[in-house]
Structure 1
């Protein structure tokens, strides 16, 4: 059963949400990356919906959600995620985020541990890139529009092998980037510019799984390994040959890794 609904935050931002699966199953919140929307999880919905109630949304500035002026912060994006959970009556959820969405998931685990059961941190890091690089990209997008950065972004999102194959997923992401609201993208770059959650990671008590593609240029395995080392209760997995959006490049292996982690009966709070 699928259902679309719009949720409003405390500062008046309207967030598009989408639910799939059995409404009585354990909830799984899915948080999209920079420059994508909730459709980035489409390939995983059939595999995850039998065991979970899937709750997806377009982060502010993305998809059909509102595009308020920036800058944004990861804390603000985290409060948006809480608004989505609250609106849908979810007290505690599994959370899976990729890239920027992974930072938001990490923020939730660190700051509202009572709302989080297990956490998947995919192709992300406690700090992604450099402040100067993110501010420069934000400025470029505001001045020249999204077309000015699409080729750069695709090169960092996907492995050379995947790009050469011109898979449908690549075309969908490219189209989405070209349609994206420049202010929403730029303001989200500013959230990445200021985010550094390394200290918070050490306080996370929920079981976590850090997943990374070995061909990820944006948050390479070294970044994922550093995040894994900072988390007290975390597993680690690599997807050989996958780029930054590993769930799109290798949808079935990604789906299985996450499903196995989320359904492990021996995994309790404080143990991974």
Structure 2
């Protein structure tokens, strides 16, 4: 796995595959580049797909100062990767937090963006979804191994992800956790919990609509899980009202977040890539 140094010296892992317009994939809060393997498998013949492990996640180094786990610093890391590879502009496929990073970059560094595809994220984040995330953030999952995780996830997640097989949940578990002698372990810095808690200590949610509006003039796509507890139908509807040209896909039987291998997601990403060429 190739690595580079961010401008503060922290080592970050990335992957570079395929040919065509550059698509930079940024993962969710606790996730890593492996979430985008279906995108590589399906689109490497149509796009140059960069996948970044954000600091503290996956194969990237943990930051000794957990307060550097913030959207501004993580956005700089994304730009540092583009600079490292000599890329002037890239489209971003951002899952959850990765989509927030993309919108922040649109507000401050729009000249570096060729378009943005948002995976189950928007300018309004539902409180119940945030509460669910805080319930597990920074805690080991409590599964003995990948088979145990597959068995229990198929029950725990059945309401939001009906019909997902145990094999699919096992593959999900291998992307998200490492096997340790005493059970599955986190593939991210547990200090991320303190960073999120500090950032939300005021209890006030910032107005993110100006960040979404900053995408004006860029190709934009939105993928939403029909059972999402982060991106509500009302927020998605308002995003579509503000951007009538928005490429939109709602993925049935998926919560937060779609896996990006669903036919509707594949079609949306394909249509998005068409607008980049």
Which segments of 5 or more consecutive residues in structure 2 lack a partner in the other structure? 143-148, 179-183
> Runs of 5+ in structure 1 lacking a partner?
268-272
In structure 2, C-alpha distance between the alignment counterparts of 1:213 and 1:48, rounded to whole Å:
21
1:1-272 equivalences under 5 Å are: 4-22=1-19, 25-68=20-63, 69-71=65-67, 72-130=69-127, 137=134, 141=137, 145-147=139-141, 159-162=160-163, 165=166, 167=168, 168-173=170-175, 175=177, 178-180=185-187, 181-184=189-192, 186-187=194-195, 196-205=207-216, 206-231=218-243, 234-248=246-260, 250-264=261-275
Question: In 1, Cα distance between the equivalents of 2:118 and 2:252?
Answer: 17
CA distance change for structure 1 residues 141 and 133 in 2, over 3 Å: closer, same or farther? Answer: same
For residues 157 and 49 of structure 1, do their structure 2 counterparts lie closer, same or farther at Cα, with a shift above 3 Å needed?
A: farther
Please identify, of 129-138 and 45-54, the stretch whose mean Cα deviation from structure 2 is larger. Answer: 129-138
Tell me if the contact between 1:202 and 1:232 (Cα under 8 Å) persists in the aligned partners.
no
CA RMSD of aligned residues (A): 3.4
The Cα shift of 1:186 comes to: 4.4
**1:49 to 1:125, Cα distance in 2 relative to 1, 3 A:** same
**Is the CA contact (8 Å cut-off) linking 2:23 and 2:50 kept in structure 1?**
yes
Contact 1:213 1:220 in 2 (8 A): no
Do 2:16 and 2:50's aligned partners in 1 also have CA atoms closer than 8 Å?
Answer: yes
TM-score normalized by structure 1? 0.79
Contact 2:161 2:254 in 1 (8 A): no
SS at match of 1:242: coil
User: Which structure has the greater CA radius of gyration?
Assistant: 2
Higher helix fraction (1 or 2): 1
* Moved beyond 4 Å, runs of 4+: 130-136, 154-158, 162-166, 188-196, 230-233
Per the alignment, in what secondary structure is the counterpart of residue 107 of structure 1? Answer: helix
Contact 1:103 1:125 in 2 (8 A): yes
Change in Cα spacing, 1:136 to 1:38, as seen in structure 2 (3 Å) is: closer
Change (3 A) 1:212 1:126: same
Contact 1:123 1:224 in 2 (8 A): no
CA contact (8 A) 2:13 2:60 kept: yes
State how far apart, in whole Å, the 2-side matches of 1:231 and 1:55 are: 26
CA distance in 1 between partners of 2:222 and 2:22 (Å): 20
Deviation at 1:252, TM superposition (A): 3.9
The structure-2 alpha-carbon separation of the partners of 1:189 and 1:58, relative to structure 1 and needing over 3 Å to count, comes to farther
